[in-house]
Chains A and B, each alone.
Chain A
């Protein structure tokens, strides 16, 4: 019995094969082959006769009688089945010879010696594969052939039906005899060939084709006939009066009728659309190839860093000239209606580099209004033949486009020839020209940007300010020579470093953290940094650090510029010291002037002490004294001694040289301190001193001694002004109150007769004084003290009822006073 066969796995039929051999083959081939054992040769034959699917390979055992005969029989059923005949080694050669002369058998019948059993499975497998491949190729056609031959015999209706089907098929089908005469033709073929059935039947197929194609068709038909195989489809052109040029795809397949008569089936399809699309595609491909070559040439030129821009432009012009086949290539620069030939590739004497033309004398004047190229192919026969360029130079062909640099017209890139162009410019030409123009524009722009950058970088190099450029990680990318000169570090030493090496240690870590936080937030830093040079010298640097951002606003770099202001700082320091010394001198001078009053002031507690002490002595000398009295007296002594000490403290404080930092102070305290100072003098001059300090007065930022000095100066000036006034009318008011937002105003108001105009005008001049004794620096110094505190000192009012001086101080941001 025959097992069920499958097409996927190959099938090996075994006839009379021993179990050992079967086992061996099965072991090696069970995954690719299905083994099918047949009991005897009759069953094998009936299998073929019943038209069942044949096995892929047949293996005949060694004990089979007349194996060649069986092979011959099988061959009549199926020529393509490989057959292996197992045989003893002694018989093998003889069998081979027999087969060689057997007329019906080919190579596919192989005698196999039992000596070579090991390689048998491999041979079977490759035979099966060969067979399957071949079957795949032939299957469809041969099956059709078989059926076509069988159908008319078995089912005539079906044949008719097939004819009907052919008539309505979308492809043209003709059958011809070996001579090429048309035997049948379906509707579609009639329509495609645009003929009538009547006029074509019996006529040669070749007549239906154009003269020039007939030969090619004949060859095709002959090939099909000779090889008795279906031919690859070929395209033919027919020229129909009605439809114009159209294209047919012709497939020729040979036919063999049961009668033994041969013929051919010709399948025709109208592929005009496909062909024209194909041609279109072909052209596009050519354009693309053209593009690609130009592009690669472009790339070669533009990426060649050894070339200067000038050389690159030259090469691009040459490239364009070659691609377009136009011998004249020009890059022009257009300025004020003039056409300067900046670069050219030309032997034409009118188009050499450096020549200048009027713009309206060139075709280019028409090309500069659009990004699209202007193309002229045969100027002589168009209206352009009146153009001055044509009249002057007989340029027949022109293609040109404008060149834009940074959005404005730079000039044109154009190619021309005195020869007319045979074919028109293609879109690809336009595209390439536009590309060239853009490239040229970009290059020119880059060149000018490059020149700008070179200028900038040379400015950086030569700048007097030290410049450091770091990346966003603060690693130094660049320093200029001024930096090297300032710090003493070489460029090579610092590149890739952070700027830590410049730190002097004056600023603490918090300072740098704050700085870094601020500039990382994109804020420009301006300030004075104290840095250290390579040789250890500390210097003050006026620094500006600017974060650089890209288009997205992300910081990419930091630029730090700065210069050494140590001299300035020193000078300022000296100036400050001079001022401080001057203020000190002025204070001493005031003290000198106030000596008398101060002595009196100090004399009072001294006097009281003396008197109390003497009295106490007197008491203890008496016989029966009251201890309470002594205690009282001594308490008073102590109090007065303390009072005297306070006066000394005040004096020493006022006379000291060094300054204190400004810090938040209470103006009330300062004013009362001043009044303690000035009281004796007021008393001496019979001046009433009144103090008015507003409640809720904020603290002010100041050096208290300096403010005392200013106040004493002002009060003493007022006192002087009061000497002309009757004693009972002499009064001075010191007033402190809010002046404006964040300012406190202090006024010193006297009840004098005011200050004469000419004096008032010169009040703040140094060394101007109306007093016999006095340096005349009091007000000047007072003013500079107040200015140094960020305030202002001025004569606020000046009438015959008295003068008022006013100065302001900034309120401290700290808590309010009281």
Chain B
């Protein structure tokens, strides 16, 4: 059973300007955070893996793939990664677009170090919950994958509140067999009640 909550969050810094990139790295490392730098949005995208934990500090205007496009792509793949936009341009349309795409915060260069750090901390704190749920969900889905085909069929019908008897009839099984399956499922998924079981299934969807 994996438990990824202990994984240290990483600050991903994407900025084409080497000085800004390095300055942010310098800052976050000083407060004990781990930093990783990328010179372009594309480079980050190439190395991105679902389940990365941390915070993305992203410059919005870059040649090639822009910051905002990267953000949109991440949202699309369902990444649970807070994005702090840093930009030298305070232009409204891009800000709006970024916020709509779910940016955590929007900071204008040059920014106050404390503000950035606070924002990063806030983002990490907020996403801790998300990641915890993600963990659970991922555990659940991991449990689900251990079920046999018959057990999954039984679970599916259970989900819709069908009784053992009806399930047995629908699956042309004996009630006893269904009950056996049900016990197996409960055990495999660690659910204490039918309600927990159903909750777990929904989470994985």
Please list the residues of chain A having a beta carbon within 8 angstroms of any beta carbon in chain B.
596, 599-600, 603-612, 614-615, 618-619, 629, 632-633, 636, 639-640, 643, 682-684, 686-688, 727-728
Contacts and interface: CB of A to CB of B under 8 A. Distances in A.
Contacts of B22: 608, 636
B89 A636 contact: no
Given A614-B113, A615-B30, A727 B19 contact: no
A615 B111 contact: no
A606 B112 CA distance: 12
A604 B19 contact: yes
Contacts of B112: 614
A599 to B, nearest CB: 7
Interface centre among A603, A609, A728 (most CB of B within 10 A): A603
Given A599-B88, A611-B113, A683-B16, A727 B23 contact: no
B64 A688 contact: yes
The 10 closest A-B pairs by CB, nearest first: A611-B23, A608-B19, A614-B113, A610-B110, A607-B109, A603-B88, A607-B110, A608-B23, A600-B88, A615-B27
Contacts of B24: 611
B119 interface: no
Interface of B: 16-17, 19-20, 22-24, 26-27, 30-31, 61-66, 86, 88-89, 109-114, 116
B62 A683 contact: yes
B92 to A, nearest CB: 14
A611 B64 contact: no
Contacts of B17: 604, 608
Interface centre among A603, A615, A683, A686 (most CB of B within 10 A): A615
A615 B109 contact: no
B89 A600 contact: yes
Given A608-B19, A636-B22, A603 B110 contact: yes
16 contacts: A596-B89, A600-B61, A600-B88, A604-B19, A604-B88, A604-B109, A607-B111, A611-B110, A611-B116, A614-B27, A614-B112, A618-B30, A629-B26, A633-B26, A682-B63, A686-B63
A606 B23 CA distance: 11
Given A603-B110, A606-B109, 6 more contacts: A599-B88, A607-B86, A611-B24, A612-B26, A688-B64, A727-B66
A680 to B, nearest CB: 9
Contacts of A618: 27, 30-31, 113
B20 A611 contact: yes
Contacts of A686: 61-64, 66
Contacts of B65: 727-728
B64 A727 contact: yes
A464 B63 CA distance: 67
Contacts of A605: 19
B164 to A, nearest CB: 58
A638 to B, nearest CB: 12
A563 B88 CA distance: 62
A727 B16 CA distance: 16
Contacts of A606: 109-110
B61 A608 contact: no
A611 B17 CA distance: 13
A440 B110 CA distance: 106
Nearest to A632: B26
A615 B89 CA distance: 23
A615 B61 contact: no
A117 to B, nearest CB: 146
A639 B22 CA distance: 13
B61 A640 contact: no
Nearest to B42: A728
A607 B89 CA distance: 12
A728 B86 CA distance: 22
Contacts of A604: 17, 19-20, 88, 109
A611 B63 contact: no
A728 B23 contact: no
Nearest to B109: A607
Nearest to A728: B64
A626 to B, nearest CB: 9
B19 A629 contact: no
Interface centre among A605, A614, A632 (most CB of B within 10 A): A614
